[in-house]
């Protein structure tokens, strides 16, 4: 199997947990979101992302918040959602954006990247990357209605997307014969309560890039070779994510499927009642 197109999100999921990749990418399952007062976290998050992107890419002289708020309202209208349900939390999250992010010179937001990597091509759109005299900074955005610092901790523990983009940017610059400046990666969580949690940007060193590149090489080989990465795993290995019980596993929506399977529950019933997507009703 060659010429695969793999998104950075899919690659990050495989690196985090093959079990999670199997359920979310192979089977196409999505957890049924718990709505709060009729508000879907998925729609809220996408609206915040759309508004923030518009604010970052505003024309010179325009006010970032005004542009972001208008874009968010337009997004809701285009998708048939009642703005009154979402706009207060969405605007609060956008308002929590650090001023330093709005002040970035020449931001690259949702700029599509396509990087050939052996038999696959990685595709993705970093939330934000920009260059300063100190190097290139890559920022991954997330939004939440819950505790922003708890979400940031989870992202720093499980999410490698900004580091992956650092590796791909490094490859892209090298392919163009350019000198690679220092690369920094971090996460930013925006809360619908008007607060934010910003991780300290960390240098993605050449050694780190080399190590992560090696892991990506291994993943590419596995993706090409393995149609079903769960086939070689025992139920216990699937449940405990390669033999380790972690905070991330306990917080994973897919944990309940294999946990139920080990206790004799009907896994198809769990999938049908707690998930939606391609195979949830198959």
Per-residue pLDDT of the chain (282 residues; tens, 9 = 90+): 457 899 999 999 888 888 888 888 888 887 776 666 667 888 899 999 999 999 999 999 999 999 999 999 999 988 877 777 889 999 999 999 999 999 999 999 888 999 999 999 999 999 999 999 999 999 999 999 889 999 999 899 888 999 999 999 999 999 999 999 999 999 999 999 999 999 999 999 999 999 999 999 999 998 888 767 777 777 667 666 544 445 456 567 777 777 766 766 677 777 777 777 655 544
**pLDDT on residue 34:** 61
> How far is Cα 65 from Cα 11, in angstroms, rounded to an integer?
33
Cβ within 8 Å of residue 103, ≥6 positions away: none
What residues pair up with 137 in beta bridges, in sequence order? Answer: 130, 184
Predicted local distance difference test score (pLDDT) of residue 251: 61
Opening angle at CA 253, ends 248 and 257, nearest 5: 110
Q: Quote the tokens at residue 266.
A: 């009907």
The answer to whether 176 and 83 are in contact (CB under 8 A) is no
Which residues make Cβ contacts (< 8 Å) with residue 143, sequence separation at least 6? 44, 45, 48, 49, 93, 189, 190, 191, 192
Which of these, 53, 41, 102, 4, lies nearest to 253 by C-alpha position?
41
pTM above 0.95, yes or no: no
Question: What is d(CA 255, CA 261) in angstroms, rounded to the nearest whole number?
Answer: 10
Cβ-based neighbours of 254, under 8 Å, separated by 6 or more? 19, 20, 23, 24, 29, 31
Q: Evaluate whether 24 touches 30 at the Cβ level (below 8 Å).
A: yes
Q: Rounded CA gap, 31 and 254, in Å?
A: 8
Structure tokens at 141: 């955005």
Q: How far apart are CA 144 and CA 195, in angstroms?
A: 10
- Report the Cα 125 to chain-centroid distance in Å: 10
Listing DSSP states for 38-84 in one string gives TB-HHHHHHHHHHHHHHHHTPPTT--HHHHHHHHHHHHHHHTT--HH
CA 249, CA 153: separation in Å to the nearest integer?
Answer: 14
Rounded distance between C-alpha atoms, residue 106 and residue 162, angstroms: 18
pLDDT at 273: 72
């Amino acid at each position: 199997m060659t010429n695969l197109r793999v998104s950075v999100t899919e690659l990050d999921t495989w690196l985090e947990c093959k079990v999670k990749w199997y359920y979310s990418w192979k089977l196409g399952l999505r957890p049924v979101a718990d709505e709060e007062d009729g508000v879907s976290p998925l729609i809220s998050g996408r609206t915040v992302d759309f508004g923030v992107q518009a604010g970052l890419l505003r024309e010179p002289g325009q006010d970032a918040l005004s542009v972001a708020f208008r874009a968010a309202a337009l997004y809701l209208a285009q998708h048939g959602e009642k703005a009154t349900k979402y706009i207060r939390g969405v605007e609060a999250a956008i308002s929590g954006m650090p001023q330093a992010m709005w002040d970035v010179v020449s931001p690259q937001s949702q700029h599509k990247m396509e990087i050939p990597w052996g038999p696959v091509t990685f595709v993705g759109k970093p939330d934000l990357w920009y260059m300063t005299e100190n190097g290139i900074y890559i920022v991954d955005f997330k939004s939440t209605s819950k505790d922003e610092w708890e979400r940031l901790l989870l992202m720093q523990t499980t999410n490698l997307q900004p580091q992956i983009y650092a590796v791909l940017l490094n490859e892209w610059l090298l392919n163009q014969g350019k000198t690679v400046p220092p690369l920094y990666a971090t996460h930013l969580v925006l809360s619908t309560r008007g607060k934010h949690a910003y991780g300290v940007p960390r240098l993605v060193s050449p050694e780190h890039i080399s190590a992560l590149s090696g892991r990506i090489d291994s993943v590419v080989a596995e993706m090409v070779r393995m149609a079903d990465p769960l086939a070689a795993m025992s139920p216990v290995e699937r449940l405990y994510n390669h033999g380790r019980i972690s905070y991330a596993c306990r917080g994973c929506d897919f944990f309940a499927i294999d946990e139920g399977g080990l206790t004799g529950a009907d896994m198809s019933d769990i999938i049908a009642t707690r998930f939606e997507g391609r195979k949830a009703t198959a």
